[in-house]
Amino acid sequence: MSNHIMLSALLGVSVCLAIAWVITLFGNHKLRLTLKHQQDKEQRLQHFMTSLSHHLRTPLNGIMGYAEYIHSSSQEPMVHFTSKIILENSVEMLHLVNDMLDMNKIKEDQLQLALSAFDVYDLLESVRQLHQARATRLNVQLQISTNQRTTLKMTTDPYRLRQVLNNLVDNAITYNRPKGEVKLQLMHDDADNTMTFTVADTGPGMSREVQAQLFNDQTALAAEFPAKDKAGIGLGLTLSRQLVRLMGGKLDYRTELGVGSSFYFTLPIHPPSGGKA
């Protein structure tokens, strides 16, 4: 009798193990199919976004060209005004399209850094000049602050560095308050031979909820701080963090409610060899 019970128990255990094995096998197969489906879906999405970005740039460049021609050649006030609006919005749209294209290149490990030597202060000044008109229009003071007293050259990708600083300054102006300040700071560390870039604003600061989503979803930032000018909202911070990482640094921030926010990153003046992302 005891042998019969033992055999029955062993048979029951064997059946349970067989069923568990079948369930595991089926589950693993289903998981592999799900992962493959997800990977295929992401690849199709990236291909679509890349194709869309490429196809949008051509008509946008055409719109910008004609708007600029009309803006510069017409003396009619209303035509001059409307063509300027078309041109400004086309530029913002082109920036968004370029950001989408860059994000896809980063995901596919295809973004190349074009390293060259350049004067850092000249680059900062070009960023300030680009945003000065908009800052003045929104009653925000924009200035450069640096501890560097002489001309200093660094080697990185000046286009990507300018792209990051443009995104940060644009956000700092957008989410500021009337009569606020935006300071583009440059600090040279002789000991480490590095440059630290900081974009500080006197805006309202960011809540913990916004901070938790900051580099994933900038719509959270826009929802908390409805701005009178929404230029710059989109992929800016997410892309900027990725670009800074590719250049050898890390984009971080400090914020205090009612006081303001600062975004900063440190880059080597002469990065390690190699320019591939």
Decide the pairing of beta strands 116-119 and 141-146: unpaired
116-268 fold: Heat Shock Protein 90 (3.30.565)
pLDDT for position 51:
61
Element (H, E) at 14: helix 2-73
Specify the pLDDT at position 80.
Answer: 72
Residue 161: per-residue pLDDT: 94
pLDDT of residue 215: 77
Domain spans, the chain: 11-107, 116-268
At residue 140, the pLDDT reads 92
Regions of the chain with pLDDT less than 50? 217-221, 227-234, 274-277
CA angle 124, 128, 130 (to 5 degrees): 115
Please report, for residues 50, 82, 202, 255, the alpha-carbon distance to residue 42 in angstroms, rounded to integers and kept in the order given.
12, 40, 39, 34
